[in-house]
Homo-oligomer: A and B are copies of this chain.
């Protein structure tokens, strides 16, 4: 019984996601659903990407949080259109929330849209939003065991960014073991090591992103 309800919710979500996708396509906007644990660096990565693509690509951002508008304010200062979704308790964004946000967003002035999901390694993985790519961030301090504990998130990702790579000297984290574990779950995933503090790996990540935009 509960399973049936869940199926209905996911089915309805899928339909609205498809509508979002068609809207984005009609406006020529490439959308990335960015997911991670709380504090893994989603907003920092978006800010670094905006900096790196300044004058080259027109970017917009949808910020998802249970409450607060701190991230939207930080993005707004970077001079790109931003809208904050407060889920009011819900542990993930869904396609309907994104649909409402898209309604009031200047999509005609945009080529790349980041949708920053609620910080959560579990539930966001189950809800598609109409995005073209799913990107997840896993940061060094979280430990290299995460693929074993949260396999679905690693399975659905098109790219995994290993963030806070600058902290590697201070923590036990085996990048090779971690990468192998991810590849064991998801053969096709791209993996990049990045730091939003030193800028390491940001160019490689942005190159991948631009290539994928071209492939849309």
Q: Which residues of A contact B (CB under 8 A)?
A: 2, 5, 9, 37-39, 65-68, 70, 89, 91, 118-123, 139, 141-143, 145-146, 148-152, 164, 167, 170-171
Contacts and interface: CB of A to CB of B under 8 A. Distances in A.
A119 B123 CA distance: 12
Given A39-B146, A66-B151, 14 more contacts: A37-B37, A38-B121, A38-B142, A66-B149, A66-B152, A67-B149, A70-B145, A89-B152, A91-B91, A91-B120, A119-B150, A120-B121, A141-B164, A167-B167
A45 to B, nearest CB: 13
B37 A149 contact: no
In order of increasing CB-CB distance, the 3 nearest A-B pairs are: A39-B142, A141-B141, A91-B122
**Protomer copies:** 2
Contacts of A68: 145, 148-149
23 contacts: A37-B38, A37-B39, A38-B142, A38-B146, A39-B142, A65-B149, A66-B149, A66-B151, A67-B148, A67-B151, A68-B145, A68-B149, A70-B145, A70-B149, A91-B120, A91-B122, A91-B123, A119-B121, A119-B150, A120-B120, A141-B142, A167-B170, A170-B170
B37 A150 contact: no
A123 B87 CA distance: 13
Contacts of A65: 149
A118 B149 CA distance: 9
Contacts of A139: 39, 141
Contact of A141 (B39, B123, B148): B39
Contacts of A164: 141
A91 to B, nearest CB: 4
